[in-house]
Structure 1
């Protein structure tokens, strides 16, 4: 049985590029717990808060529940649920999972494969990360679930039917003249840019192309905040800042809240700006809450 193919084929609710990372998040969490205790189970009432926190941090902007993947992942053949009544999930309702003592864990065949092949756990984890989350979030997501991974093997784990374009970074940074589109940062060491990255507006994992009109040159800080839904891009190509973001320090105001309403820096004339379809996807699927009003001019 090819477990990577099975993981890549997880059935998820999807419509118009809607993000539904519920099952991948539960699997990453379960893999981390497997590292700690290969025979242990995850009682729903004991892990519900952890899973809810993961969904709030890395899931879609709208409210959701960990009961959904806890029940529905069984149908993918990688997960099992038992209750005080015996084998089988009682359903996807929170009350049913709580009242029946529902306990989930990786399917027996998958647990056996993980024991036989020591590197399989890392390969599955990296596949889940590559297919469902942008690279800027991989490290902190592993830390959030408690997953310990060895250095990655050579080669990508994304299905070969779609490969990333290695030229995108240079094309996007050139289009924005090596300046962060949000704050204008343009640091270098000698002639080498430092802390500048090519961000996908519509995530590559969700069909976002490696095209200039789906890219932004961003500094490392603003790339992370963009992928976390703190920052966005409005229809008028001005910076959106989420009302949900809270920062009282002068640094938070200067580097985040003061960006509200600021026009993007770049791209240079003759270069395609961000396509409306990609901006719309990011606003619906990543940006959190409502945008703040434009920041008042300094001294105004």
Structure 2
């Protein structure tokens, strides 16, 4: 059985680029727990809060419940559920999963495969990360689910037909003249820029092209906040800051809250600015909550 292919083809609800990472998040969480305790199972009532936090932080902006993937991941052949009444999931209702002691774990066949070939776990995790999340979130997400991956476990699944264009970073940084489009940071060591990254506006994992009009030159801080949905891009290419962001320090006010309503530092003349279609995808699928009003002058 090709477990990598099965991992890559998890059946997810999809419609015109809508994010639905419920199953990948539960699967990553289950792999992390298997790494810690290969014989353990995940009782829904015990892990519900963990899964809810994962969905809130790494899932789409709309409200959702961890009961949905806990039940539906069974259909992908990698997960099984039993209750106090016997094998089989009672459905995707939170109440049912809680009240009759639903517990899930990886299927016996997958657990056996992971024991035979320990490196398989890291390769499966990479598939889930690469196909569902931007690279800026991979490290934090692994930490959140308790996954420890070896540095060598970076190979991409062979059935992923698309390949990232290695030229994009240089093209985007050049277009934005090596400065963060949000704050203007332009640090270098000698002639080498440091702390500057090319961010995809529409995530590569969701069909975002490696084009300049889908890219922003951002400093490391603002790239992470952009991918987490704290920051966004509104009409007239002005910066959005989520009302859900809380920061009381002068640094938080200066580097995040004060950005609300500011115009982006755009690309140089002749370079295409971020396309409206990519901006609207990020606003609907990544940006969290309502934008803050611009600070009073």
TM-score, scaled to structure 2: 0.98
Deviation sequence 1:220-273 (CA, Å, 0-9, x none): 000000000000001210100001101011000000000001111120011111
Contact 1:83 1:101 in 2 (8 A): yes
Superposition pairs of residues 149-298 of structure 1, within 5 angstroms: 149-153=149-153, 155-157=155-157, 159-297=159-297
C-alpha distance in 1, partners of 2:26/2:152?
Answer: 21
Aligned-partner SS, 1:217: strand
C-alpha distance in 2, partners of 1:84/1:277?
Answer: 49
Indicate the residue corresponding to 1:30 in structure 2. Answer: 30
Indicate the residue corresponding to 2:130 in structure 1. Answer: 130
Indicate the residue corresponding to 1:76 in structure 2. Answer: 76
C-alpha distance in 2, partners of 1:61/1:22?
Answer: 12
Q: Confirm or deny that 1:56 pairs with 2:56.
A: yes
C-alpha distance in 1, partners of 2:61/2:159?
Answer: 27
C-alpha distance in 1, partners of 2:194/2:11?
Answer: 39
C-alpha distance in 2, partners of 1:77/1:160?
Answer: 20
Deviation sequence 1:108-147 (CA, Å, 0-9, x none): 1100000000100000011101110000000011111111
Which sections of structure 2, spanning at least 5 residues, go unmatched? none
C-alpha distance in 1, partners of 2:71/2:153?
Answer: 33
Contact 1:199 1:215 in 2 (8 A): yes
Superposition pairs of residues 95-134 of structure 1, within 5 angstroms: 95-134=95-134
Aligned-partner SS, 1:33: helix
Q: CA RMSD in A?
A: 0.9
Indicate the residue corresponding to 1:16 in structure 2. Answer: 16
C-alpha distance in 2, partners of 1:15/1:224?
Answer: 26
Aligned-partner SS, 1:105: strand
Which sections of structure 1, spanning at least 5 residues, go unmatched? none
Superposition pairs of residues 130-149 of structure 1, within 5 angstroms: 130-149=130-149
C-alpha distance in 1, partners of 2:283/2:291?
Answer: 10
C-alpha distance in 2, partners of 1:250/1:118?
Answer: 47
Aligned-partner SS, 2:173: helix
